A and B are shown apart, each in its own frame.
Chain A
Amino acid sequence: MEGDRRSRILGGMSGDARSVTIALVSTLVFFTALGFVVTNAPGWPEVKSAFFDPTVFRDSFPEVLRAFWRNIKIFCIAEVLILVFALLIAVLRSLPGPVFFPLRALTIVYTDVLRGIPTVLMIFILGFGAPALAISWLPRDPIFWAVVALVLVYSAYVAEVYRAGIESVHPSQDAAARSLGLTRGQSLRHVVVPQAVRRVVPPLLNDFIGLQKDTALVALIGPIETFRQAQIDTAATFNFTPYTAAAVVFVLFTIPLARLTDWLNERSRRRRAAAGIAA
């Protein structure tokens, strides 16, 4: 089990010196060959100046980075709301008994429909449609409606992740809690949900990396965020390098999140192993 973590990167090898060498050489050859093929292609100079122009990059990067602040704000607000709203949906869906059937049915319809609707449409419908209703007390701000759209769509996905977590908690846990005199609600609150949430943290973070990129869809209804700023700069210069700048910004933000996900994954795996629970 010792070499387990390393072996995943090295492709199922036992980790002796020979396989490490082969892995290194193979990697080196692969990237050298790829680099050779790309940079020797007849159109490479043109592609290089269209996507990797240093002057355009320098001009565009600060603007793109400034616009990224808007993505971060949308992301943070939406994320908190999604965590709460999705948990509510998941809990409603896991309520037992015929009495709660209408609620369960409602949550099933919700997750089915909202996962099917393209996020783009939700943003247009709410961003342009809701303010056009001309209801005086309804906000008109496009960012407000974009956040609502993202929360509605992502909650459907995240609710399913929560549900998987809740269902993965063995029924004996609930039974034990109930036998100790906890009500159904208390059992859910203190026994089932805490275990469920801990188990689904890695897939949750995965969804949030997706959400972080989808904040760019907000641009469809007006606000200038990273992607849109890159588009504006691209149209001004007829050069696609600003998109490369936007990609760098997004990746710089995503990598720590991805590392955190892996680390949490690893930690929960070790804990489960230590506690002797089959993973």
Chain B
Amino acid sequence: MRRVQIPLTLLVLLLALVASACGSTNEASDTQTTAAPGTQSTAADPCAKDQLELVNDGTLTIGTDNPAYPPWFGGTPQGQWKISDPESGKGFESAVAYAVAEQLGFAKDEVEWTVVPFNNSFKPGPKDFDFDINQISFTPKRAQVVDFSDSYYDVNQSVVALNSSKIAGATSLADLKDAKLGAPVGTTSYDYITQNIQPSEEPQVYDTLDAGVAALKAKQIDGLVVDLPTAFFITAAQIEDSKIVGQFPTIGTQEHFGMVLQKDSPLTDCVNQALAALKADGTLDQIQQTWLSDKASAPVLQ
């Protein structure tokens, strides 16, 4: 008899599963219908603090990756954070995030930071942050999947090398043709190598900035391509006897960083309004002066 019983038990279990799944679908649509009137009754300013649809009510939840690197973040790391502390308000992105939060009406203690690894910023399903600020470059393809805020920083790529490297004296992109270059994975730095420099040697790719720095130190690559502010951090704090060989000219459209939000989030417009206000009154410029000013100039490779 056992041979009949097993498939039957399986059947019963499956039917239960199907039934429960149908049940949960209904619940989901129920909550959607109950939620709908709330969003429609916005006669008031949709960007007013109490009208915002937030992950956690009354709190602006901002995401970034851990470790949080200078000069984007500053302060002494606390709790789960490594290298820097996003909650310090120090560093460019931390300062920008708090300035945007202030524009939206959130006091400093109403801002909550959460760790969002790069991949999690665009995973399907609901996000666990209101916006993510993590040196993520806007591209049209990426913008099909998530919402990007307007630019909060126009960025240029650059190449870092050891002083002893064969490319330390390079003055043009052509001088990098025979170099073995590396870049952190998933970055526009890597895209710049493959699309614009097109070196004869296949570029190397690293999970983290630290892995790229380790490879540069071990002389496995001649140069590491990163955005310019990061290049200043690497040469100043991470590798002695290294230099910024130069920054790359913009080819095509100017690259910029945007905050990442849920696709079609109503918050995107509000963040853009906040950014526009910060640009208009000079606050954004000032923040940039404070945190990135000494990192503005490096020779441009032709």
Interface residues of A (CB under 8 A from B): 11-13, 19, 22-23, 25-26, 29-30, 33, 36-37, 40-43, 46-47, 49-51, 128-129, 131-132, 134, 140-142, 219-224, 228, 231-232, 234-240
Residues of A near B114 (CB, < 8 A) are none
B144 adjacent to A238 (CB under 8 Å): yes
Verify B191–A236 contact, CB threshold 8 A: yes
- Which listed residue (B11, B122, B124) contacts A47, Cβ 8 A? B124
The residue on B at minimum CB distance from A132 is: B218
Q: What's the dominant secondary structure at chain A's contact region?
A: helix
Q: A26-B10, A131-B219 are in contact. List 7 more A-B contacts (CB 8 A).
A: A12-B3, A33-B14, A37-B18, A142-B204, A234-B119, A235-B187, A236-B139
* 16 sample A-B contacts, Cβ–Cβ < 8 Å, listed by A number: A13-B3, A22-B7, A36-B21, A42-B29, A43-B125, A46-B125, A142-B215, A142-B220, A221-B220, A222-B182, A222-B204, A223-B204, A224-B204, A236-B139, A236-B186, A237-B145
Closest chain-A Cβ to B93's Cβ sits at a distance in Å of 19
Given A43-B124, A232-B205, A235-B187, check contact A30 B218 (CB 8 Å).
Answer: no
Complex contacts, B119 vs chain A, CB 8 Å: 234
Closest CB-CB distance, B30 to chain A, in whole Å?
11
Binding site for A on B (CB under 8 A): 3-4, 6-7, 10-11, 14-15, 17-18, 21-22, 25, 28-29, 118-119, 122-125, 139, 141-142, 144-146, 182, 185-187, 190-191, 202-207, 211, 214-215, 217-221
What is the count of residue pairs linking A and B with beta-carbon distances less than 8 angstroms?
A: 119
B residues near A13, Cβ cutoff 8 Å: 3
- B207 & A220 in contact (Cβ 8 Å cutoff): yes
Contact B21 A40 (CB under 8 A): yes
Which residues of chain A are near B3, meaning CB under 8 Å?
11-13, 19, 22
Residues of A within 8 A of B187 (CB): 235
Provide the bound-state CA to CA distance between A240 and B21, in Å. 25
Q: How far, in angstroms, from A30 to B182 measured CA to CA in the complex?
A: 48
Q: In the assembled complex, which residues on chain B have CB atoms less than 8 Å from the CB atom of A236?
A: 139, 141-142, 186, 191
Knowing A50-B123, A238-B141, A238-B146 are in contact, say whether A11-B6 is a contact too (CB < 8 A).
Answer: yes
Whether B185 pairs with A231 at a CB distance below 8 angstroms is yes
Alpha-carbon separation in the docked complex, A169 to B156 (Å): 67
Q: Which of A40, A140, A222 contacts B205 (CB 8 A)?
A: A222
Enumerate chain B residues within 8 angstroms of A47, measured Cβ to Cβ.
124-125
Residues B186 and A220 in contact, CB atoms below 8 Å apart:
no
B28 contacts A42, CB within 8 Å? yes
| Complex interface: chain B residues within 8 A of A26 (CB) | 7, 10-11
Bound complex: CA of A37 vs CA of B19, how far in Å? 9
Q: Are B118 and A228 neighbours in the complex by a CB distance under 8 Å?
A: no
The CA of A222 and the CA of B10, in the complex, are separated in Å by 47
B28 CB to closest chain A CB (Å) equals 5
A228 to chain B, nearest CB (A): 6
Q: Which 6 pairs between the two chains have the least Cβ-Cβ distance?
A: A235-B186, A222-B204, A50-B124, A238-B145, A238-B122, A26-B7
Chain B residue numbers with a CB within 8 Å of A237 are 141-142, 145
B205 touches A128 (CB 8 A): no
- Residue of A30, A37, A42, A142 touching B10 (CB-CB under 8 A): A30
A236 CA / B195 CA spacing, docked (Å):
13
Given the complex of chains A and B, what is the CA–CA distance between A132 and B220 in angstroms? 9
Give the chain B neighbours of A11 by CB distance below 8 A: 3, 6
Q: Roughly how many angstroms separate A240 CA and B186 CA in the complex, as a whole number?
A: 12
Which of A12, A41, A234, A235 gathers most chain B CB within 10 Å?
A235
Task: Write the nearest CB–CB distance from B12 to chain A, whole angstroms.
Answer: 11
With A26-B11, A221-B211, A237-B141 already in contact, the answer to whether A41 and B21 are too (CB < 8 A) is yes
